[in-house]
A and B are shown apart, each in its own frame.
Chain A
Amino acid sequence: MLSAPHLNYALLAPILIILGAALLGVLVEAFISKALRSRLQIGISLIAVIAAFIQLIRVRNLTSTSAAVGSVAIDGAGIYIQLIILALAFVGLLYIADTDNFTAQASAIPGSTEEASSIAAGSQQTEVFPLTLFAIAGMMLFPIATDLITLFVALEVLSLPLYLMSGLSRRRRLLSQEAALKYFLLGAFSSAFFLFGAAFLYGYSGSLSLNGIADGVHSSGANSVFLLIGIIFLSVGLLFKVGAVPFHSWTPDVYQGAPTPITGFMAACTKAAAFGAMLRIFYVGFNDVQWDWKPIISAIAVITMVFGAIAAIVQRDVKRTLAFSSITHAGFILIAVVALSKNGLAAALFYFISYGFATLGAFGIVTLVRDSSGEITDLNRWSGLGKRSPLVASAFSLFMLSFGGIPLTAGFIGKFSVFTASYESGNINLVVFGVLTSAVALFFYLKIVLMIFFGESRSDTLTVVIPSILTRVAISICVIVTILLGVYPSLIFNSLQTFATFLH
């Protein structure tokens, strides 16, 4: 007779809270009248995120490898990443709360009378909230999962809702649906790679857990062909999620097509989650074969940085530009992965925060710049925005500067810490590449700033909508975090020093 497994729910509570809230959200969809749903969903989601955050804070000093029968590791870095994801998700939710960005009726054919009447009736697809919560739960699980099965499940839990939500834009629905299709097909494709890699890792070590794989490296008398195949294919899956070149190609299209709040949420949180998982896998599972994978990941890091930065130069769409920017940043974080040290981990964690908030802020501002047919994403039409709305333009420029790594913004500290960690671990070449790429990247960030402030304002229908209070709060948070962490990063770094460890 089996004894009941001990799951240690206190440690899993944050994820369970989110999942519970998601279920509640599904029930709300089923049983609550349409008029109330939206507000109720927002409330449930935000409260759940806050509650999960609080619960995480409460258990922050606990560590465990036995929670969930060893499927997850509760350790400093894990908790930290979860906290980051929740914080970013909170801001993301504030944008998502502006349901005006989502289609009134996803099943209605774009342009049909049905759609028009749905819009007229004020319908809303409030399912985005439970979907978002599911995604958040997956994101939280992904970086703390310690076996390949849980990893795979978590990967899917975070991905499926995102596939769906990408297709829910209110305007330009054809594009949005196309984004969903592309994201889904390529995502499933990459999942297959992930799984194939997982199989070979299992084949090599006889274990699905990261520790088991690490042990396998020690004990196995075999050559490492299976291991290498496993690492490569698993990496492909992960690199896809983080948007590293050459597995990046979905990024611009999906970022452009998806509803902007979702893009922001996805860009910030997925990156943190996927990189969190990646860090754990490489730090814990593949630590002892680092000489096999470091050159490969280094090369990918360089290609990613350079490609992202260069390709962004000629982009004319603000969301695509931000997508390429996110690719570049993925390259930078990869540098931290390659550093394979406590400082590298800390740097990566900090980078999640600095990049995440800046990204959320930037996409938040994208939601504000509109004409009668919705958001304006053509950069040419952003020209002269500074004259129309200096505050919004300033905030956007701030985020650009943070992306560019200008001192006194969080982005700079992020880059600095990544470079430092990399340098420390001897990867000076990567630092040099990183530095040069930063210069190229600055080129387009600054061009945007230039255009916004000094471009000729075209007297067209561009307006900057008065943001809803929630959006306003969200953007403000992003601005404050970006500046505060730029000026006084010790707020984070002091705690990172105690937290940035993985349990083995």
Chain B
Amino acid sequence: MKNILTVLELLPLFGVIALWLTPKENTKLIKQTAVAASLLTLVESFIAVWNFDIKFKGFQLVESYNWISAFHIKYAVGVDAISLTLILLTTILVPIVFIAGWHESEDGRFSPKTFYVLMLVLETMMIGVFAATDVFLFYVIFEAMLIPVYFLIAGYGRGERAAAALKFLLYSLFGGLLMLAAVIGIYIISTNQGVGTFDVNELSKLTIDQSTQNWLFLGFFIAFAIKAPLWPFHTWLPGAAKSATAGTSTLLLGILDKVGTYGMIRFCLTLFPGATKTFAPWIITLAVISILYGAILAIGQKDINSMIAFTSISHFGFITLGIFALTSQGISGATFYMINHGFSTAALFLTAGWIVKRRGSSQIADLGGLQRVVPVLAWSFFIAGLSALALPGLSSFVSEFLVLIGSFSQYPVATIFATTGIVLAALYVLLVVQRALHGEVKSGNESMVDLNLREKLAIAPVIALLVFLGFYPKPVLHPLNVATSTVMSQIGVTDPIAKADK
């Protein structure tokens, strides 16, 4: 197959067409169609993995067609291990979200059909954004992606969903606009240097003077920092997470926000190595602040969803820390962290979503004693929590530790601060576990029902993956190493040598 990635992008869209043909009233058929489409996409993504050569450095499965030739813009896609794993994360999580949130689509402002259309369109875009090797294409999807999410939050969420969605959108678009300026800037530079291209590989070969690099870097970085989100650009996240449905939150934090950190590696690092080195200490500082700040605020949250959101801010701090440590452990760890965080956040949001749905309140104070009432659900939430606190044996530990180990040699003090974050992580997870799952069964919780088979089926693969990758991360980590070494050589950095060896 020649156009694996394009087919992969199009499959969800075929699902959209199929949905379009489905009668609006037949909710069940609509759901089945959507699940089928997402599963088909999953299969196709495995085909992509099958055709992927782990040892090959650079982009694979590439396709390139002229798109807007006036600006040398191409529809160019291709994957390396980083993007492929993120695509895989996407294709795995989408069906899970569908199955887990079987009824999410029903009490929205729009019809269930619209929900699945938006979701599938979002899937296409998420695949596309990771597959894009043309900066313009990336940007286009990066921005366009926000629209379906906006409607998903505002159309199907809870509480002050509209305001939250607007805030999310404005924040992201603001960042995106800054990035647009930078995208244009780098294109102009390429034009001036006689190339005139948006191709990432070509662009990374440009020679850009330091001050220009700095500005362009900032343009990209702020967009990604808002997306990721990094302190102090984070305030959109808790609201969005609080308002969105569990499935939307899962995709939003699990995948969409990864575009931010993914973009940092793919664009900030490779396009502007000089600026990266200039700004790295500052960004590391922000990352550490994010880690601690996110964790402390997570402790202080009263709403379970915004608590999860703040934990994510903390985790994104770790990812950023790893990326800008500019060591192979740091970057590999960060990329692996992205995958793990995707799964662990998914688990957290989905389980929290079930809890909230059953209880009718997302206030932690309203919960309590769930362990007795709904043991399976409680366990799922607990394991998800353990994954969030990076318990060794779960995959997030591997990545978190890699990040710390990778950053210590460059930024020991920052790393020490970051490491204290693991205590805070224990606190925020266990506090909510204690309040929600343990203790007396609070009134209002007595009649909650435990997970049904469908829900169990949805959460099982996530937990299985978390455990499996914790003990055997090699299938993911090994390809990522190859990609990491490519990135490192593009920036021109090498790992520090152990001191005692000298």
A–B contact, 8 Å CB criterion (strictly below): yes
CB distance from B232 to the nearest CB of A (A): 17
Given contacts A401-B147, A420-B71, A497-B70, contact A435 B188 (CB under 8 A): no
Interface size on B (CB < 8 Å)?
A: 36
Q: Are B141 and A407 in contact (CB under 8 A)?
A: yes
Q: Mark A363-401, 1 if CB is under 8 A from B, else 0.
A: 000000000000000000000001100100000000001
Given contacts A423-B188, A439-B170, contact A406 B181 (CB under 8 A): no
Cβ-defined partner of B139 (8 Å) among A346, A407, A442, A490? A407
Residues of A within 8 A of B17 (CB): none
Question: Interface range on chain A: under 10, 10 to 19, 20 to 34, or 35 or more?
Answer: 35 or more
Q: Are A489 and B188 in contact (CB under 8 A)?
A: no
Q: Which residue of A lies closest to B139 (CB)?
A: A407
- What's the Cα separation between A423 and B170 when bound, in Å? 24
Q: Are B173 and A442 in contact (CB under 8 A)?
A: yes
Which chain B residues numbered 469 to 501 have a C-beta less than 8 Å away from chain A? none
B187 on interface, CB distance cutoff 8 Å: yes
Residues of B within 8 A of A431 (CB): 181, 184-185
- Majority SS of interface residues in chain B? helix
Cβ-defined partner of A419 (8 Å) among B69, B155, B174, B180? B180
CB distance from B69 to the nearest CB of A (A): 6
Which among B86-94, B161-169, B403-411 touches the partner chain?
A: B161-169
A408 on interface, CB distance cutoff 8 Å: yes
Q: Are A490 and B68 in contact (CB under 8 A)?
A: yes
Q: Are B178 and A435 in contact (CB under 8 A)?
A: yes
Q: Which residue of A lies closest to B66 (CB)?
A: A490
- What's the Cα separation between A177 and B497 when bound, in Å? 81
Q: Are B67 and A488 in contact (CB under 8 A)?
A: yes
Q: Are B143 and A420 in contact (CB under 8 A)?
A: no
CB distance from B149 to the nearest CB of A (A): 12
- What's the Cα separation between A252 and B166 when bound, in Å? 26
- What's the Cα separation between A386 and B188 when bound, in Å? 41
Q: Are B70 and A496 in contact (CB under 8 A)?
A: yes
Q: Mark B94-126, 1 if CB is under 8 A from A, else 0.
A: 000000000000000110000000000000000
CB distance from A351 to the nearest CB of B (A): 14
Q: Mark A442-455, 1 if CB is under 8 A from B, else 0.
A: 11001100100111
Q: Are A419 and B181 in contact (CB under 8 A)?
A: yes
Q: Are B173 and A346 in contact (CB under 8 A)?
A: no
CB distance from B177 to the nearest CB of A (A): 4
Cβ-defined partner of B187 (8 Å) among A420, A432, A488? A420
Q: Which residue of B lies closest to A422 (CB)?
A: B184
Residues of A within 8 A of B166 (CB): 446-447, 450
Q: Which residue of A lies closest to B109 (CB)?
A: A454
CB distance from B203 to the nearest CB of A (A): 15
A250 on interface, CB distance cutoff 8 Å: no
CB distance from B438 to the nearest CB of A (A): 38
Q: Are B67 and A490 in contact (CB under 8 A)?
A: yes
Q: Are B181 and A432 in contact (CB under 8 A)?
A: yes
Q: Are B67 and A407 in contact (CB under 8 A)?
A: no
CB distance from A90 to the nearest CB of B (A): 25
Residues of A within 8 A of B185 (CB): 423, 428, 431
Cβ-defined partner of B68 (8 Å) among A443, A453, A489? A489
Which chain A residues numbered 447 to 467 have a C-beta less than 8 Å away from chain B? 447, 450, 453-455
CB distance from A339 to the nearest CB of B (A): 12
Given contacts A407-B141, A436-B177, contact A490 B154 (CB under 8 A): no
Most buried by A among B66, B144, B184: B184
Q: Which residue of A lies closest to B142 (CB)?
A: A407
Given contacts A346-B70, A450-B162, A490-B70, contact A407 B188 (CB under 8 A): no
Q: Which 6 A-B pairs have the closest CB atoms?
A: A493-B70, A407-B140, A454-B162, A407-B143, A439-B174, A435-B177
Extra contacts, 11 of them, besides A390-B110, A419-B181 (Cβ < 8 A), are: A407-B141, A407-B143, A431-B185, A435-B177, A435-B178, A438-B177, A446-B170, A453-B151, A453-B154, A493-B70, A496-B70
> CB within 8 Å of B: which residues of A?
346, 386-387, 390, 401, 404-408, 412-413, 415-417, 419-420, 423-424, 428, 431-432, 435-436, 438-439, 442-443, 446-447, 450, 453-455, 488-490, 493-494, 496-497
